[in-house]
A and B are shown apart, each in its own frame.
Chain A
Amino acid sequence: MSIKLKALLKSPWVFHLSTGSCNNCDIEILDCLTPRFDIERFGMLLVGSIKHADVLLITGSGNRKSMERAKRLYEQIPKPCLVVAVGECALSRGMFVHSYNCPVPIDKVIPVDVYIPGCPPKPEAIIAGVVKLIEKVRKSTEKK
């Protein structure tokens, strides 16, 4: 299990999921692939199917209709996988706390590894968060 996790970090493939957001965080994630903050040099790609993915990026405050489908998608991703929550709305629903269509925050439904705050977070912040995640996983596999 630890060899698989170590090999996963060399070139992780990313799947992006939006559970009811205003699209600002999604555009900043697409902005990371453009020539100024190039993350394709680390081998990260955006894929279309959930069965090819290693890392799951979640944005948006948890909508009632979207959370059923998100739970089904989390059961289909091949384990071991890493989950990253991007933006204020994914951390604790942001300013939509008292809304009638957002009952619970996302980490009561899906277990999350890394939180990246900001509204929207700048692409430098997203890259810094992903680098911290890779170092944390690398340290925990080396101790074993």
Chain B
Amino acid sequence: MTREEVLDDLRRKFKDDIIEVFDKSPKRVYVEIKPDSIVQVASYIFKDLKARFNTASGVDLRYHMEILYHFLIEDINLLISLRVKLQKQKLEIDSISPIFEGSSWIEREIHEILGINFKGHKDLRKLLLPDDWPEGVYPLRRDYKEWDKNVIRDRGV
């Protein structure tokens, strides 16, 4: 399938879930969808179009948060990024780890560093931070403050 066929196929099947399609360059496409339909779109792209899941990235912007899921179709050299916008009062989304196992570790990392809750994930333990890190403190948010009293932040010169 060529690039235009893939995009027309997506637009036809998920007409009311897609909000906007942004064509950046011959190799990249950004597709914005509603948060409730992430499981359907992700399983269609993974199973029927035979794409490969690369990674997911979480961003903290000023008034909302975003998660981007990156899928790669190797035969036509196309990278599709699914963008999901979440409001700061209600940070929850369905997890896509029942579909493929490869996304369970990246969801654990986004949960412990940004604070987004993934419903339906088997095992949301801490991945990178130590066990005595306090609850509710998320390092990569913009309003993170230093909570430890015994740190030394100057070089002593």
Contact = CB atoms under 8 A, between A and B. Distances in A.
A–B: direct contact at CB < 8 Å = yes
Interface of A: 64-65, 92, 97-98, 100-101, 103-105, 108
B139 A100 contact: yes
A138 B70 CA distance: 61
Given A92-B155, A92-B156, A97-B155, A103 B150 contact: yes
B130 interface: yes
Interface string B125-137: 0000110000000
B32 to A, nearest CB: 32
Closest 4 CB pairs of A and B: A103-B151, A65-B130, A64-B130, A92-B155
Which of A97, A100, A101 has the largest count of B CB atoms less than 10 A from its CB? A100
A104 B155 CA distance: 10
Given A65-B130, A103-B148, A97 B153 contact: yes
Given A92-B156, A108-B152, 19 more contacts: A64-B130, A65-B130, A92-B155, A97-B153, A97-B154, A97-B155, A98-B153, A100-B139, A100-B144, A100-B146, A101-B129, A103-B148, A103-B150, A103-B151, A103-B152, A104-B150, A104-B151, A104-B152, A105-B152
A100 B139 CA distance: 8
Interface of B: 129-130, 139, 144, 146, 148, 150-156
Nearest to A64: B130
A100 B146 CA distance: 8
Contacts of A101: 129
Tell me whether chain A's interface is mostly helix, strand or loop, or mixed. loop
Contacts of B150: 103-104
Nearest to B152: A104
A68 to B, nearest CB: 8
A64 B129 CA distance: 8
A61 to B, nearest CB: 13
B125 to A, nearest CB: 14
A90 to B, nearest CB: 14
